[in-house]
A and B are shown apart, each in its own frame.
Chain A
Amino acid sequence: MDTINYKLSHLDILEAESIYVIREVASQFESPVLLFSGGKDSIVLLHLCRKAFHPARLPFPLLHVDTGHNFDETIEFRDRLVKQIGANLIVAYVQDTINSGRVAEETGANASRNALQTTTLLDAIEKNGFDGAMGGARRDEEKARAKERFFSHRDEFGQWDPKNQRPELWSLFNGRKNFGEHFRIFPISNWTEMDIWQYIQRESLELPSIYFSHSRSCVKRNGVWLGVTDFLNINDDEVVEEKTVRFRTVGDATCTGAFESTASTLDEIIDEVSTLRLTERGGRADDKRSEASMEDRKKAGYF
C-alpha cells in the first residue's frame, strides 16, 4: 500500500499525541484540572484541550496560581479568553497563603514569590480534591524537565521522586494511585519553543501583547532585564531605562526577564527564535539560583 499519502507533518503528529494524552487524563482521573497561567504554552495547551473535546466544553476547570505579581496584560487576556470559551476558572492566590501564615514572603532585593507558588498550588489541589493537574511544561525547557514523564506521579506531599518514576512505555499511561496522591500531566512534553511558535501561527492563536515588541521601563539585574512593576524592589545603584523589549516566557513579574527585540509579528518572532543563542529560561532568575534549582523545586512539588 502506498503510505506516502498517509504522512503527517511534525505539528500534526505533536497535536495528535497531545490530544491523546489530554483525553487519557479526562478518562483516567476523577477530578482533573488544567493549570493555566495565560502564557503561550498554556494557551497552546488550552487550545489542544478544546480540540480534544469539541464540540463539548472542557470537562475540567482551569486553575491559575496567581502570585499577585502579574503583568496586567496577562490577567486581562486570561479573563477575556476564559469568558470567550465559557470555561470555569479557579484562581488560587499566593497572597492568601501568605496571609494565612503558611509561607513567608522572601525579603531582599531579589525577593520573588515564585517558590511560594508551590504551597498555594498544593493547597489548591488538596482543597479542590484534584487528582490530576495538567500543565504546559515542556521537556526542552530545562534539563530536569527533560527527565520527566508525561504522567508524573506525586506522593501525598506532592513530591516528585526522580529516581522512582514509573516506566512509561508506548502510549500506555498508568494513572493509578492511592488516595491523597495525585499526578502532574504534561501533554506538550515533546514540543519545543519553535513548535509552539509555529503552532500559534498555524492556528492563529491570540497571545497577550507582552510577547510582542514594545517599549517598557526596565532595570538590569544579574544580566537580565526585568520589567519595572510595583512589586520590584529597585536598588539605589540600579538605573531604570526605557527599552524596546518583548518576553519569551511569562511568569511572575519579578523573575521573568524581558529581552531586547523589535520582533512585533509572529513571522518576525519565528525568525528571531530560530537565531537565538540563549535558552528561553536563560531569562528566568529563579533557575539561576543553583545548578539543580529546578530539580529541587520540582521535588518539593513545584510545577
Chain B
Amino acid sequence: MWLSGKKQKHMDLLRFATAGSVDDGKSTLIGRLMFDTKTIFEDQLEAIEESSRKRGEDYVNLALLTDGLRAEREQGITIDVAYRYFATPNRKFILADSPGHIQYTRNMVTGASNSQLAIILVDVRHGVVEQTRRHSFIVGLLGIKHVVVCINKMDLVDYSQEKFEEVKKDYLSFISKVNIPEIHFVPVSALLGDNIVEKSEKMPWYKGSSLLYTLENVQVVSDYDFVDSRFPVQYVVKPQIKGYQDYRGYAGRVAGGVFKPGDDVVVLPSGFSSKISSIDTFSGPVEEAFPPMSVTMRLENEIDISRGDMIVKENNQPKVEQDIDLMICWLNEKPLQPNGKYTLRHTTKEARCVVKEVLYKVDINTLHRVEDNKEIRLNDIGRIRIRTTQPLFFDTYQRNKGTGSLILVDEATNTTVGAGMIL
C-alpha cells in the first residue's frame, strides 16, 4: 500500500562528544542521561540489572549499558567510541561516547571530529588532571566551539560551592591558552542524578541550568562555512538509460558556501569556467544547495570532470598547493616516519605524500612546543610539513573542517594512522 502524509517533526540535530579521565563517571553520566530521558528500554534495564547482580554489585551499574563489548565489560573500561542516540521534543542528539583512558586518545579524536559540542567530565575531588588538559586541548584543536564542563561527584564533597568554584577557576586558567569560545560549568552527581536532567535542590547556590537543559538550548554556531563555495566532486552520474543518454551530473556533498543555478563556476584543477545549469535531486531540481546537502550539479559546458575535482566560484577560490603544513594527531602504534610516504585522503581526493619535516610536537600538559624531541608517536600531536604528489584544493581547518581536514593511510597496512588539520 502506498501511504500519503507529509507529517514530519522539524527537529534539529546536535552531535556531541564526551571526554574525561577513567573513573570520572562518564559511563554513569551517559547512563543517567539516557535513563532520565527514557531512552533506556525495559529490556535493556533488565539486562543490566541481571548483569549487575551476577557481578555482585550493590546497585544497577548504568555503565554496563554503554560498554557494549565483551572486553570492555571484563575490564570495566570503555575502549572504543560508541554512538548513542536520544531525543527531546525539539532536538535529536548523537552522542559520541569516547573513551577516557590515555591509551585510547585516538578514539577520542575520532569521536570528537564530527562533534559540535563536547562534555568534559572532571572529578571534583581530583580537579583538573592531565587527561582533562589533553582532552580540552584536542577539543580546541578540532575546532569545537562549545564545551560543557561537568564537575562530577559533588555528592562526595557535600555539594560544596567552594570546591566547585576552585575547580572552575583552575580550568579557566588552563583553558585560556586554548581557543574555545563558549564554556559552561555544571556541578553534577551522575550517580544520583543531581543537575543532570532536573535542577538539584542540594545545590541552591548554583544558578545555571541542568546539563540536559543546557544541551537542549545551547545555540550552536553552525560548523559550516556558508561563505566559501566548495563542491568536491564525488561521483559522476551518467545514466545509460532511455531518455537520459545525454545526462551528465556531478554528484557530491556541498562542503561550503551556497550554490545556485546560473552561478559562474570554475572547475579545479583544470581551471575551466562554466555556469551551473541545474542542481538536481531525486525529488526534482532545487533553487540552492548549501552544506551539508548531497546533490547533483549539471554545468552548461561539456568539460572533463572526475572524482576528486572541485567546483568552486570564480571569485572565491581555495588554496591550491602541494606543500602543506598541518597539525597531526597520530593514531597508530607505529610512529610517524620522517620522510615516510603515505596515502592521503582529502575531501574526495586520494593522493600520496611524503613527510618533509616535523616542526614540533606539543606537550599536552604545558601546551608548549617541544622542539628537541620530534618523534611523533601514538596519541602525540605535532606540526608537520608534507609535500603531495598532486596539488590539493583546500582551506584552513579553522575556516572549513570539510576542506581543511585530511587523513594519512599507511601503505603497508592500509590503516588510518594520522588525522590532519591544515594550517
A residues adjacent to B (C-beta < 8 A): 1, 3, 6-17, 19-20, 23-24, 26-27, 50-57, 139-140, 142-147, 162-163, 165-174, 176-178, 189-190, 192, 194-195, 198, 200-202, 204-206, 209, 265-267, 276-279, 282, 291-292, 295-296
- Residue B373 lies at the interface, judged by CB distance under 8 Å to chain A: no
The interface bits of chain B over 299-311 (1 if a CB of A lies within 8 angstroms of the residue's CB, else 0) are 0000000010000
CA distance A300 to B24 in the complex (A): 34
**Cβ-closest chain B residue relative to A50:** B282
- CB neighbors of A among B46-90 (8 A): 47, 51, 65-71, 73, 79-85, 87
A148 CB → nearest B CB, Å: 9
B269 CB → nearest A CB, Å: 18
CA distance A168 to B73 in the complex (A): 23
- Whether A17 pairs with B43 at a CB distance below 8 angstroms is no
B residues adjacent to A (C-beta < 8 A): 1-13, 41-44, 47, 51, 65-71, 73, 79-85, 87, 92, 94, 106-107, 109-110, 113-114, 222, 224, 226-227, 234-235, 237-241, 244, 247, 251-253, 258, 280-282, 290-294, 296, 307, 331, 343, 345-346, 348, 401-402, 405-407, 409, 414-416, 419
Chain B contacts of A171 at CB under 8 A?
Answer: 114, 253, 402
Q: A9-B11, A16-B293, A165-B80 are in contact. Are A279 and B41 (CB under 8 A)?
A: yes
- Whether B79 pairs with A163 at a CB distance below 8 angstroms is yes
- Whether A147 pairs with B3 at a CB distance below 8 angstroms is no
Chain B contacts of A145 at CB under 8 A?
Answer: 68
Chain A contacts of B68 at CB under 8 A?
Answer: 142-147, 295
User: Among the listed B67, B80, B87, B348, which residue makes an inter-chain contact with A27, where contact means beta carbons less than 8 Å apart?
Assistant: B348
- Whether A23 pairs with B5 at a CB distance below 8 angstroms is no
**Cβ-closest chain A residue relative to B45:** A277
Q: Which of A139, A142, A209 has the most CB of B within 10 A?
A: A139
- Whether A27 pairs with B7 at a CB distance below 8 angstroms is no
Chain A contacts of B293 at CB under 8 A?
Answer: 8, 12, 16
Chain B contacts of A178 at CB under 8 A?
Answer: 414
CA distance A245 to B416 in the complex (A): 47
Q: A54-B281, A143-B65 are in contact. Are A174 and B416 (CB under 8 A)?
A: yes
Q: A26-B235, A147-B81, A165-B80 are in contact. List 13 more A-B contacts (CB 8 A).
A: A1-B227, A16-B294, A17-B292, A51-B281, A52-B235, A53-B237, A55-B280, A56-B244, A167-B331, A170-B113, A177-B414, A178-B414, A201-B6
- Whether B2 pairs with A206 at a CB distance below 8 angstroms is yes
User: Among the listed B2, B79, B238, which residue makes an inter-chain contact with A56, where contact means beta carbons less than 8 Å apart?
Assistant: B238
CA distance A15 to B9 in the complex (A): 15
- Whether B83 pairs with A139 at a CB distance below 8 angstroms is yes
CA distance A267 to B3 in the complex (A): 10
Chain A contacts of B307 at CB under 8 A?
Answer: 27
- Whether A11 pairs with B419 at a CB distance below 8 angstroms is no
- Whether B222 pairs with A3 at a CB distance below 8 angstroms is yes
Chain B contacts of A143 at CB under 8 A?
Answer: 65-68, 82
Chain B contacts of A163 at CB under 8 A?
Answer: 71, 79-80
Across the A-B interface, the 8 shortest Cβ-Cβ residue pairs: A143-B68, A56-B239, A19-B294, A51-B282, A176-B414, A282-B43, A146-B82, A169-B113
CA distance A172 to B255 in the complex (A): 13
Chain A contacts of B224 at CB under 8 A?
Answer: 3, 6
Chain B contacts of A206 at CB under 8 A?
Answer: 1-3
CA distance A224 to B251 in the complex (A): 45
Q: A3-B226, A23-B234, A295-B68 are in contact. Are A167 and B107 (CB under 8 A)?
A: yes
CA distance A203 to B350 in the complex (A): 35
User: Among the listed B69, B73, B84, which residue makes an inter-chain contact with A162, where contact means beta carbons less than 8 Å apart?
Assistant: B69
Q: A16-B253, A167-B419 are in contact. Are A10 and B83 (CB under 8 A)?
A: no
Q: Which of B80, B291, B406 has the most CB of A within 10 A?
A: B80
CA distance A190 to B95 in the complex (A): 10
CA distance A295 to B82 in the complex (A): 14
Chain A contacts of B241 at CB under 8 A?
Answer: 55-57
CA distance A53 to B107 in the complex (A): 33
Chain A contacts of B65 at CB under 8 A?
Answer: 143
- Whether B407 pairs with A172 at a CB distance below 8 angstroms is yes
CA distance A144 to B79 in the complex (A): 12
Chain A contacts of B70 at CB under 8 A?
Answer: 292, 295-296
